[in-house]
Structure 1
Amino acid sequence: MPGIATIFYPANARFNLDHYINKHMPMVLKKWSSVGLSRYIITEMDPAGGYSIQAILFWDDIESFRKALKTVSAEELMADVPNFSSEGPVIMFGTQVGSS
């Protein structure tokens, strides 16, 4: 079953959306496509819900995501977070069980 990782950035964070869209996420795809990341979607959220940005990452399976988090690439990607956000992300993940 496909794995889904959802990453949220708090609404109170300073956030550079240009860097995130044009530099960070392409770097994520480049580094992790070989370990099962197929695509992503970025959503600008209504900050009234507590979060300003959401990224949904689509994986071959959830185990691929777990493995990716343990790589050197994960450390490199997390090191880039201060370049676009003053707050760290909230990360949730699971396995797709339905769709339309």
Structure 2
Amino acid sequence: MTTMFVTYAGDAATRFDRDYYTGTHLPLVMTAWGPYGLRSATAFFPEGRVEGTIALAVCEFDDDAAVDAALGSPQSEAVMADIVNFTDSPPTRHRC
């Protein structure tokens, strides 16, 4: 299994709609990348007002090839285009 962490940096003034992210964006991610081997996508948010990471998604894939297939898929365009609907912070991906 391969884990991809998606982080969003910012501070208390950075726009991030948690409800949209968990209720709309993560289901979109599952629909788009599930056929390529995404097993789960879970969101975590730091408690309180902090600077640095304001949101973190943990995406569990079958393996590295599944991550590559998902990110290179035509469905990734919709996933990336949706980001502006919940934040101004660009995502950063980390693979483990």
Determine if the TM-score, normalized by the shorter chain, exceeds 0.5.
Answer: yes
Task: Report what 1:4 is aligned to.
Answer: 3
CA distance in 2, matches of 1:11, 1:64: 29
Could you list the runs of 4 or more consecutive aligned residues of structure 1 that deviate by over 3 angstroms after TM superposition?
46-49
Equivalents in 1 of 2:79, 2:41: separation in Å?
15
> Once the 2 structures are TM-superposed, how far is the Cα of residue 49 of structure 1 from its aligned partner?
5.6
CA distance 1:66–1:81, shift in 2 (3 Å): same
Gaps of 5+ in 1: 95-100
The equivalences for 1:13-24 within 5 A come to: 13-24=14-25
- Corresponding residue of 2:57: 55
TM, length-normalised to structure 1:
0.86
What RMSD, in angstroms, separates the aligned Cα atoms of the two structures? 1.3
Q: Distance in 2 between matches of 1:36 and 1:75?
A: 17
How much does 1:48 deviate?
3.6
Please list the CA deviations of residues 49-92 of structure 1 after superposition, one character each: whole Å capped at 9, or x if unmatched: 61110000000001101111111111110000000011110110
Structure 2 partner of 1:73: 75
Aligned residues: 93
Equivalence for 1:98:
none
Partner of 1:45: 46
Q: 1:43 to 1:63 in 2, by over 3 A?
A: same
Partner of 1:68, secondary structure, is helix
Structure 2 gaps of 5+ residues are none
Confirm or deny: 8 A CA contact 2:10 2:89 kept in the other structure: no
| Residues 1:28 and 2:19 are matched in the alignment | no
C-alpha displacement of 1:44 = 0.4
Specify the alignment match of 1:92 in structure 2.
94
